[in-house]
Homo-oligomer: A and B are copies of this chain.
Amino acid sequence: MALEGTRQTRPRGRRRAGENTRAALLDAARVEFTERGFDGATVRGIAQRAGMDPAMVNHWFGGKDGLFVAALQLPVDPEDIIRRVLDGEPSQIAERVLRTFLSVWDTNGGGAFTALVRSVASHEGAARMMREFVSRMIFGRIVSVVAPDRPELRTALCGTQIAGLAMVRYVIRLEPLASADHDTVVAAIAPNLQRYLTGELTTGSATC
């Protein structure tokens, strides 16, 4: 007799239209990632919670990483950002990072990113996902290429400058930064961000 309560098998083949397995997978992933973190959550567990096969994660999101990024609901494609940042002069990485973020944020008036900041600030689970995302997928990869030492500290420091810019420019909307054009923002902030990326961390560099 079949164990109907703990069924392990589902009928093969395509579901009826409207079942939307992709969305179900995303919902399950958000629950698992926020509760257990990236490492603690398993593809198999997420798939089971969504009631489908683990292979669906690969089919729809290309793997665990892709599912995680999609679950974060980022208004950007981090792979695109990394690509746009990593090619070019290392001494101008900060400028490219800033220009990339500014162009992405300003295309939709910062609305999507404001929502992201809100959710990160209010939900502990969202904060946890953002924490692991930043340390694992963004600055970790960038800094490991260009940083001379202490990549984790540099990653976190870069996070302070980027998050602070987002807070002041888009959430608090403090002038003149809120309406400043990209060149002004870059000229003001890029040197500081560059110090976090490639500069000397123990001694000051502001006063030569």
Contacts and interface: CB of A to CB of B under 8 A. Distances in A.
Contacts of A70: none
A159 B153 contact: no
Contacts of A152: 175-176
A18 to B, nearest CB: 34
Interface string A120-140: 111000010011001100000
B191 A205 contact: yes
B189 A195 contact: no
A172 B158 CA distance: 13
Interface in A167-183: 167-169, 171-178, 180
Interface residues of A, number: 56
A164 interface: yes
Contacts of A120: 171-172
Contacts of A191: 195, 203-206
A192 to B, nearest CB: 4
Contacts of A207: 91, 194, 199, 205
B192 A206 contact: yes
Interface string A149-170: 0001101110111111101110
A171 B163 CA distance: 11
Contacts of A157: 177, 188-189
B159 A168 contact: yes
